[in-house]
Amino acid sequence: MQDIDNLSGKVLRLDPTTGKGVSDNPFYNGDPDSNRSKVFYSGVRNPFRFTFDPTTELPVIGDVGWGRWEEVNTGAPGSNFGWPYFEGPERTGGYQSLSQAVSFYNNSNINPGSPSPQAAVFPTLSRTHGAPDNARAIVVGDFYNEDTLMFGDVNNGTLYAATLDDSRQVTDIKVFDSDVSYVVDMEVGPDGRLYGVNLISGQILRWNPA
């Protein structure tokens, strides 16, 4: 959803006590109760899990896809990740011919009323539903260290470690476990190990990926 005054398809940043928007949010308009004052990111489809980059301190989101792509997204406050007009690196089938989509692609009427209308921010990482990734439902877990993001796929049961460089671009992806379907959350514990939750079995899993 691209309407900045509609909370669908958004990541919100709120005062945890009042539930109101905070004054340094990117679309804050002076009214902390307004929808746009609460918006931090837009253009997301289903951000099922996210964590924070320890270097940038910005959210890193696993956005579950639709027909072709799964995404890992991050960006400056106010970033627009393009849904429903982009999925992964592509224009979204079924939406791209809409007049609103054409305007979006032409970089006009994007985020009307925002401080600086902008085009979509493309994913930090895209995973295709076809070969070679065979992705289905992405889950961003946690940073195992400053430069290693752990993420997985709920349905295909594969867990990955992505290496990020100083500019926070992904330079390498390695599998660190497989055949572990329905891991819906991963967090680094106080002992430095990575823990996960299996939705179906109820098990708490533990890894030492180093």
The span from the CA of 127 to the CA of 72, in Å, is: 9
The predicted structure's pLDDT at residue 210: 61
Per-residue pLDDT reduced to its tens digit, 7-27 = 999 999 999 999 999 999 999
Q: Is residue 20 part of a domain?
A: yes
- Examine the pLDDT at 115 and tell me if it is beyond 50: no
- Find all residues with CB under 8 Å of 173, minimum gap 6, and list them: 125, 160, 161, 162, 163
CATH number at residue 157: 2.120.10.30
Q: Is residue 4 part of a domain?
A: no
Q: Assign 104 a pLDDT band (cuts: 50, 70, 90).
A: confident
Q: Is residue 62 part of a domain?
A: yes
Please, are residues 152 and 183 in contact by the beta-carbon 8 Å criterion? Answer: yes
Average pLDDT on 111-134 reads: 77
Number of domains the chain is built from: 1
Q: Assign 110 a pLDDT band (cuts: 50, 70, 90).
A: low
The predicted structure's pLDDT at residue 158: 94
Per-residue pLDDT reduced to its tens digit, 130-184 = 999 999 999 999 999 999 999 999 998 999 999 999 999 999 999 999 999 999 9
Q: Is residue 5 part of a domain?
A: no
The span from the CA of 113 to the CA of 83, in Å, is: 18
The predicted structure's pLDDT at residue 209: 65
Q: Is residue 2 part of a domain?
A: no
The predicted structure's pLDDT at residue 118: 58
Average pLDDT on 44-59 reads: 95
Closest CA to 142 of 204, 195, 186: 186
Q: Is residue 98 part of a domain?
A: yes
Q: Is residue 1 part of a domain?
A: no
Residue 182's domain spans which residues?
10-207
Q: Is residue 167 part of a domain?
A: yes
Closest CA to 69 of 110, 10, 124, 12: 124
Q: Does the pTM exceed 0.85? A: yes
